[in-house]
Structure 1
């Protein structure tokens, strides 16, 4: 093999995408010392997304003091890539669930810091901003982030305020006229890998609220707030977000990114592939290695493995998929461009035990695959 492209997702709770790339490259070099290896670690928009883009493309991490989920000052960051033309922001860096520790309460948390990062990136001269959703502690519909860039929210008394999950029900009007001019002509792409709507039984509050600390009563109240915000957005901004897939992502931040930032929602892997110029990168590749913790029917809806395989298929480049586990019926995956699927677990063990051997199992699986390729290429 002369050129190989590595683009795995992480194995949640066991191996990061960077670790997987490293294991793969070491084994490839062992059997094919002169092979060019291109590593593109992938994150889904949540924690680690900035590091993955910087690892794949180079660039710089910029640190900025912004507000955390409880309006306390904290040091957060964003990444600058593509010669300073593109910024990458992960909302988890200042609105993430781990930041609230034992203070989980989506009625009181804010995305204000995310808006501060977006504004800072815009003021730095970027022409494009990629915002990764995921791992949030919030349920404010992106209203906090919008306020940070100048959007005004008014209550029934005509007083402006910063809406939280618990006060979205008090929003009666929205004014975009004071929104920072710096973000007007910037392309903003939001990485979003779920299709939940803004509100309702499958919306942000009902599906994700409990993991952020909401009890059943709070979930109902949060959903009422999102219903109200959705109606006011439609009335004042002329945007109907009720049934938009992904609107419920990250406490309805997906909907907020559309309404307040003129952003488009895009599958995370599609954003990554476009940003790293994947189609051109693989044109002369002999093999693409990808993978994820488990490949199943959910993977077929556009996660990393299938997103990669579909593009590789158009270039007639074979795709080897390495996973922790696989569903029995993956025939459709082969139709979408997957060449072969290998699972790393060598013995029937419970996940709590097998996860401790993930590094060794990944290493052994890669070695065996490469031994086979080497023998065929003789």
Structure 2
């Protein structure tokens, strides 16, 4: 892989990559399959993109000895996480945890009535990201903004307390 044109200012720098998903680079849980349909990609386009990511991962493995399938978050942002993992001295951290810790939410006796989330589409990916950490904060109502592309009973399954609920502020559907 050509890296001789890398800007010198990156030498000696380390980066903190904020990422709340753990998608792999390619495959059924990879970038193309997770995010392609969210962006309107048809199945043949998703397969084409996934094949390209698979080939790219093969080149990266051969050239950089880095297996992106072993890097949680390498499929984030359509594979941008994999690019960061390949070319930067980086650490991946949870954005949700970063915000919670920066505001001392877990260190205080804090209570919320509502927590709002901005999601383009509420789907299985939501269950692995914002939705997962939201249950750690408190017994509050969660309000997700975005179209709902997953049966509501699948969203409710992880919620164990009867005081929790989901309120949708958009129409149901794809």
The correspondence for 2:111, drawn from 289, 292, 315, is 289
Which position in structure 1 is the counterpart of 2:133? 303
Deviation at 1:342, TM superposition (A): 5.4
Q: Which runs of 5+ in 2 are unaligned?
A: 118-126, 144-155
Q: Conserved in 1, the CA contact under 8 Å of 2:27 and 2:50?
A: yes
**Secondary structure of the corresponding residue to residue 264 of structure 1:** strand
Mark the runs of 5 or more structure 1 residues left unpaired by the alignment: 1-173, 310-319, 331-340, 354-378
Deviations 1:228-271 (A, max 9, x none): 11111111112111232211111111111111122222211223
In structure 2, do the counterparts of structure 1 residues 219 and 300 end up closer, same or farther at CA, with 3 Å as the change threshold?
Answer: closer
Q: Are 2:172 and 1:329 aligned?
A: no
Task: Tell me: CA distance 1:299–1:293, structure 2 relative to 1, closer, same or farther (3 Å).
Answer: farther
Larger Rg: 1
**Greater RCO, CA 8 A, separation 6+:** 2
Out of 267, 270, 278, the position equivalent to 2:104 is 278
What does 1:106-145 correspond to in 2, within 5 Å?
Answer: none
Deviations 1:151-194 (A, max 9, x none): xxxxxxxxxxxxxxxxxxxxxxx122331121222221111111
| Alpha-carbon distance in 1 for matches of 2:17, 2:139 | 27
Query: Normalized against structure 2, the TM-score is what?
Result: 0.67
Q: Write the distance in 1 (CA, Å) between the matches of 2:14 and 2:6.
A: 15
Structure 1 segments of 4+ aligned residues over 6 angstroms from their partners: none
Q: Is the 8 A contact 2:74 2:81 kept in 1?
A: yes
Q: Measured at CA, do residues 269 and 324 of structure 1 come closer, stay the same or move farther in structure 2, by a change above 3 Å?
A: closer
Question: Kindly tell me: are residues 321 and 222 of structure 1, through their superposed partners in 2, closer, same or farther at Cα, counting changes over 3 Å?
Answer: same
CA separation of 1:242/1:303 partners in 2, compared to 1, >3 Å: closer, same or farther? same
**Corresponding residue of 2:86:** 259
Alignment partner for residue 4 of structure 2, among 177, 190, 215?
A: 177
Contact 2:75 2:82 in 1 (8 A): yes
Aligned residues, how many? Answer: 147
Q: CA RMSD in A?
A: 3.4
Does the residue aligned with 1:189 lie in a helix, a strand or coil?
strand
Q: In the aligned structure 2, how far is the partner of 1:181 from the partner of 1:304?
A: 40
| SS class of match (1:278) | coil
Question: In the TM superposition, what is the alpha-carbon distance from 1:224 to its structure 2 partner?
Answer: 0.9
The answer as to whether partners of 2:26 and 2:75 remain within 8 angstroms in 1 is yes
